Amino acid sequence: MLDSLLAIVGPTATGKTETGILVAESIAGEIVSADSMQVYRFMGIGTGKPTAEQLARVPHHLISIIDPDTPFSVADYQERARAAIAGVRARGRQPILVGGSGLYVRAMIDGLALPMAPPALDLRRRLSEEAEARGLAALHARLAEVDPESAERIHLNDAKRIIRALEVYQQTGHTISALQQLDRQRRERYNTRQFGLTLPRPELYRRIEARIDDMIARGLAEEVRTLLRRGCDEGLVSMKGLGYAQLIPYARGECPLETAVERLKRDTRRFAKRQLTWFRADKRIEWIDVAAVGGAKQAAEYIRRGWQGR
């Protein structure tokens, strides 16, 4: 019989952290993070990590476990998350997977990575335009830098596959070759029930903007400066995350704060749309409109009843 796993997923700013904590408190659970940015140390504000008070309420796993310059693959996450879940179960408690990184969630629930990334038409168009302007060899050379295995396999003139490989890497931070290997290792390990949190689009965007304003007020710009001083290059996967890539130009004096913040808000709205596209494709997810039910407390109660009544 497969072990049970409860998952709470959805786009950014829908209240997954607090909802997950409330659920964990009500069913003797511990949280295993499924957030590809919260694994990094020294990146607390921009990644929206749980506060010290929240961490004290419920045990959390896979938060602040590696340095920003340390390579970390989906397979690395899968291995550590499985170990964390086994530890939670050994303590007689219920593991709860909480996060918005669809690739990490899928790797745990299904043991695979595909579909690796939903089509990103804007990104694909920009890559196609770059190929026309600079030549396909330039894109192939870039692919060779980030994913030499795929570059060796994909012909120099195969524009479609070169662009797709770069598209997957830029969306996920992981190479298409690594994800394909993970897909070949697919095997079901858990009896999972997934709940997805959502909000009406205007409310979601309002929360995103308020959250970013709060991050700025709490010192996100200084956090970015500190990372740069630590030698964290903007080419690192960690520094390409939301909140960091957009604030680097400001931290270097290349644009005003207002411009950086507007870019961050725009990119976060787009990211939330991509998250929804990804999660909506999984018909197993039971969706909860957090605003319609009255907030995180009510959403958590809905999940508790659904989980215990399964």
- pLDDT score at 30: 98
Same domain, 141 and 176: yes
pLDDT of residue 160: 87
181, 210, 225 — which closes off a domain? 181
CATH of the domain at 133: 1.10.20.140
Domain membership flag for residue 60 = yes
**Helix, coil or strand: residue 97:** strand
Please report the pLDDT score of residue 63 as a whole number: 98
> Is there a domain that residue 54 lies in?
yes
My answer on whether 25 and 58 are in the same domain is yes
**167 and 39 in a common domain:** no
Which of 164, 181, 198 is at the close of a domain?
181
Same domain (yes/no): 196, 295: yes
CB atoms within 10 A of CB 160: 10
Same structural domain, 177 and 191: no
Q: Is residue 116 part of a domain?
A: no
Answer whether residue 284 is part of any domain.
yes
Beta strand extents in 36-147 (DSSP E only): 60-61, 94-98
Let me know if residue 55 belongs to a domain. yes
Are residues 167 and 233 both part of a single domain?
A: no
Of 160, 181, 202, the position where a domain reaches its end is 181
* Whether residues 127 and 105 fall in one domain: no
In a domain, 209, yes or no: yes
Domain that includes residue 236, residue range? 3-111+187-308
**Same domain assignment for residues 137 and 105:** no
Is residue 224 in a domain? yes
- Going from the C-alpha of 259 to that of each of 206, 218, 247, 255, 264, the distances in angstroms are 18, 18, 9, 7, 9
Tell whether pTM > 0.85: no
93 and 128 in a single domain? The answer is: no
pLDDT of residue 116: 57
What pLDDT does residue 117 have?
Answer: 64
* Residue 206: CATH number of its domain: 3.40.50.300
Per-residue pLDDT of the chain (310 residues; tens, 9 = 90+): 678 999 999 999 999 999 999 999 999 999 999 999 999 999 999 999 999 999 999 999 999 999 999 988 888 999 999 999 999 999 999 999 999 999 899 989 987 654 556 667 788 888 888 889 999 999 999 888 888 888 888 988 888 889 988 888 888 778 887 777 766 556 667 999 999 999 999 999 999 999 999 999 999 999 999 999 999 999 899 999 999 999 999 999 999 999 999 999 999 999 999 999 999 999 999 999 999 999 999 999 999 999 998 7
Q: Are residues 106 and 195 in the same domain?
A: yes
End-to-end Cα, the chain, rounded Å: 16
Number of domains observed in the structure of the chain:
2
Q: Same domain, yes or no, for 46 and 95?
A: yes
The 10 Å Cβ neighbour count of residue 199 is 22
- What pLDDT is recorded for position 184? 58
- pLDDT on residue 74: 85
Beta carbons within 10 angstroms of residue 83's beta carbon? 13
Q: What is the pLDDT of residue 309?
A: 85
Is 148 found in the same domain as 46?
no
Tell me what pLDDT residue 202 has: 97
Rounded to the nearest 10°, the torsion over CA 51, 55, 56, 62 is -150
